[in-house]
Amino acid sequence: MKRYWLMKSEPSEVSVDDALKARGQTVAWVGVRNYQARNFMRDAMQVGDGVLFYHSSCAEPGVVGVAEVASTPYPDDTQFDAKSKYFDAKATQENPRWMMVDVRVLEKTRLLPLAELRAQEALEDMLILKRGNRLSITPVTAEEWRCIDRLLHK
DNA sequence: GCCAACGTTGGC
DNA sequence: GCCAACGTTGGC
């Protein structure tokens, strides 16, 4: 069963344009340091799952592209790199703590802003719109996906 | 296991 | 820069 996800990225780190220009058209989703988000990548994602590419912590937060999961999970090497801001002293090669997947952007869309998402009755239960939600990776239902797909292409 | 303190996220 | 909300840490 194909599943759907929303993945946040700060455009100052990796924008949808950066991801499109990436060599091989896939980007490794480095830097996730939250257990729930890691578990989604490690335990639930399948190659081919749909991904909404979301820009966060920026002037115009919102969905900016459609992507897909492009790899099975594997260790995020930045956890072993003492010079990386994602370094984790408690992680070892034998026992990696942080996993990630590769993501391939299939399409850069128009910017679908947060306010427009909030205006949709069909999206009222969407996790990203819940008060106080900060999870960088959240599951999206098939219904939510269809609704957003329509909005992106209208 | 509790919980206060602290750090981070992220919209505004 | 502000601040609400949440996750993590660490002393007990």
Is there contact between A12 and strand C, defined as CB under 7 Å from any strand atom?
no
Token pair, residue A69, equals: 């999961």
How many Å does it take to go from CA A136 to C1' C6? 13
Number of structural domains, chain A? 1
> Whole domain around residue A76: which residue ranges?
4-152
State whether the beta carbon of A57 lies below 7 angstroms from any atom of strand C: no
- What's the whole-model pTM score? 0.95
pLDDT given at position A24: 73
Q: Which nucleotides of strand B lie under 7 Å from a protein CB?
A: 8-12
Q: What is the pLDDT of residues A54-73, one digit of tens each?
A: 999 999 999 999 999 999 99
In tens, the pLDDT along A85-98 reads: 999 998 999 999 99
pLDDT higher than 90, residue A79: yes
Check which CATH number belongs to the domain holding A13 and give it: 3.10.590.10
Give strand C nucleotides closer than 7 A to any protein Cβ. 4-8
Kindly state the average pLDDT of the residues A5-23.
95
Rounded Cα–Cα distance for residues A54 and A113 (Å) = 10
